[in-house]
Structure 1
């Protein structure tokens, strides 16, 4: 018999439990086990007044932001609507059925105020890293580093030529942040090259054509991950140039050593990190094996001898050419030893003109110059070490494992929907990248650490 609802009168009392209506398999149940905000209020206490009307609970704001970045809800206005309607979100935020959801403008006020002043978001991210270490998901032996371009919240049609500088009407918070990082090696001081275009609404965003797509304004998110389970151990926002990304790599390694006591034995990266100075920093200062392809442009395409055709004699500090002659930094003997390293960190090894003039191999060696010259980096020892490591099985293993960081970037853009920033300025990019990395760590914990079912009494 077909049933029919007959009464429309509402009950006077309800017995309803939000806890019972959230499925045990829900992703937020798995994530909630690893969200430890017990020290949040003590951390923020100096930034709140001890008198006046009570503020919105900062733990509620952080839990709501965690939902947004873990689930991929990019709009804070929509996040407030979803938390208001979704029982699982209310359960995660400890709101119950009648808890009030704060207005979306509250996030902006706290982000630009107390959260940034107290350096709270880096603390939230580091909380996830410490939990990953406690759960034995971080081996600490092998790391990988890379950067990915994230589009800035900028309309390229409103850009102005970089050589003209900022227009007079360009003012506000993002311009102040841009001026504050002009001397930062990760932003304005990364390269002396003047950007082709500037965005008045977000001048720190870099105009880049590094992808096959149409040129766009972007920031770079830099990840340092542990290769055991692809846990993000550090993240940093930089301008989108190679030099800034190398600077971020050094900062992240030092920060990881200082805050977590992690000293990796090897680092995997692509050729962008294979410049001589960076390899020397890894080998000589940090004792880290660089599983990195050397950044080398010594190969020639005109059929003449390349630098690899010359043999370096370490004892004599000279190169031996295919014809048996020697190339030296100087062919004169000085009473006082001299340094032949130039300002770019290179030593020029030159052959004598009389040796090259009558050589039968000159057409294949130096047809357009009176004598052959070879540039050798002052850090060539570290480059040679990286070349030797590239022939080992461990290097090929690192190359295979390094794909994990590319998968993290793909997950960041496709699943967490962070393919375009919503916040502007260097600080906004930093906030978004740290929260996204924290969300990826939380999802990793939820996936790899199963929920232990309660043991029923016998």
Structure 2
């Protein structure tokens, strides 16, 4: 016999357990088991008044934001609508069927004021990392670092020439994004990262970098910097910066130091691409941190005109001299040039005059000069590691950080930012990293659903 839908939905009383409607293997159950927000109210208490009408529970707003980033809901207005109709989201947010959902406008003020003043997103990220460490998902032996360009919320059609934008403006008359950028002009990740004036600047978001790094049409972007543990690809730190190499390298150093300070984790080796292979960074890793750099050396000394490159000359560290292919010695006076970064090793003119290899060595100069970076010893350490089995393993493991960025853009749909300014980019990147770690934790650590479920009668 064919069944028929009930046309009357006006039943007066219902007995309904919200938990019964959520499958036991649903992602919200696993994330709820991994997410501890018991500390939140005490942390935010100093930022709320003791008088007046009660505010929206900050835990509710945080849980709604987690839902948005975990399930790639890229609008706070849409988050509110989805929580309104989705029972699983309601259960995760500790809302009953009859409870009202906050208005989307409440998120903006909470994020820009109380959440930032209390550094809530950073503290939440660190607690999720601690949960990953406790679950055995962080090895602590090898880290990988990289950066990915994320398009900023800035329009090229409304940009101005870089030379027309002035930094000496009154912050009181500027938008929030401009105020944030003016406050970071001395920060090496932002205003002080480079003295080069960009071709275009967005007046609405001047911290966004005009870049054509993708070999296609240029656009405004921020760099999302990740430091991951290669054991299971857990993100141990995240930092926003301008989309230039100097800023990204500076962000890498910040993340490594912060991870050691916060979690007591210092890797034995760091995996990265050539962008992190400049001499100062390698020297910092080798000499100051004692970390093996599994990083290709950034080196432009190879010549393509048929003459000998620097690699054709043998360096003798015991005597601090170079030997040329003809067996002659190149010495240095010890004077640093190029703003104190380089030593010059010079051959003697009479050695070069009668040398049969002069045409292949210095055909246009009376004698040969070899520049050597003052941190060349650290570069030699990185070069020596490049041919080892461990380096080959690190090169394969570096794909894990690329997979994190692919997941960020394709699954979490963070290909373009919604928030502007350095702090807006930082908030979005940290929330996305929280979502990725929570999903990783839920996928790798099977946990039963919570014993007590929200009941509505």
Residue of structure 1 in register with 2:201 after alignment:
198
Residue of structure 2 in register with 1:369 after alignment:
365
Residue of structure 2 in register with 1:396 after alignment:
392
Q: Work out the CA distance in 2 between the residues paired with 1:95 and 1:7.
A: 28
Residue of structure 2 in register with 1:85 after alignment:
85
What is the CA distance between 1:452 and its match in structure 2? Answer: 3.5
Q: How does 1:31-430 map to 2 (within 5 A)?
A: 31-166=31-166, 171-330=174-333, 339-340=335-336, 342-430=338-426
Residues 346-375 of structure 1: CA deviation (Å, up to 9, x unaligned): 101111222212211111000111111111
Q: Work out the CA distance in 2 between the residues paired with 1:19 and 1:67.
A: 17
Residue of structure 2 in register with 1:335 after alignment:
none
Q: Tell whether the 8 Å contact from 1:329 to 1:340 is kept in structure 2 after alignment.
A: no
Q: Work out the CA distance in 1 between the residues paired with 2:444 and 2:185.
A: 42
What is the CA distance between 1:386 and its match in structure 2? Answer: 0.5
- TM value normalised by structure 1: 0.95
What is the CA distance between 1:6 and its match in structure 2? Answer: 6.3
Q: Work out the CA distance in 2 between the residues paired with 1:7 and 1:37.
A: 43
SS in 1 for 2:192: helix
Q: Work out the CA distance in 2 between the residues paired with 1:247 and 1:453.
A: 42
The CA RMSD over aligned residues, in Å, is: 1.6
What is the CA distance between 1:171 and its match in structure 2? Answer: 2.7
Rate the CA distance shift 1:325–1:5 in 2: closer, same or farther, 3 A. Answer: closer
Aligned length: 448
Higher relative contact order, chain-length normalized (CA < 8 Å, sep 6+): 2
What is the CA distance between 1:51 and its match in structure 2? Answer: 1.0
SS in 2 for 1:90: helix
Q: Work out the CA distance in 2 between the residues paired with 1:153 and 1:45.
A: 33
Residue of structure 2 in register with 1:334 after alignment:
none
Is the deviation greater in 445-454 or in 91-100? 445-454
Q: Tell whether the 8 Å contact from 2:33 to 2:450 is kept in structure 1 after alignment.
A: no
Q: Tell whether the 8 Å contact from 1:279 to 1:383 is kept in structure 2 after alignment.
A: yes
What is the CA distance between 1:453 and its match in structure 2? Answer: 7.3
- TM value normalised by structure 2: 0.95
Q: Tell whether the 8 Å contact from 1:291 to 1:389 is kept in structure 2 after alignment.
A: yes
SS in 1 for 2:306: coil
Residues 116-156 of structure 1: CA deviation (Å, up to 9, x unaligned): 11111100111110000000000000000000000000111
Q: Work out the CA distance in 2 between the residues paired with 1:297 and 1:92.
A: 54
What is the CA distance between 1:76 and its match in structure 2? Answer: 0.5
The counterpart of 1:447, out of the listed 435, 443, 452, is: 443
Q: Work out the CA distance in 2 between the residues paired with 1:5 and 1:404.
A: 50
Give structure 1 stretches of 5+ with no counterpart.
331-337
Residues 142-188 of structure 1: CA deviation (Å, up to 9, x unaligned): 00000000000011111111012249898311111111111110011
Give structure 2 stretches of 5+ with no counterpart.
452-457
What is the CA distance between 1:9 and its match in structure 2? Answer: 6.3
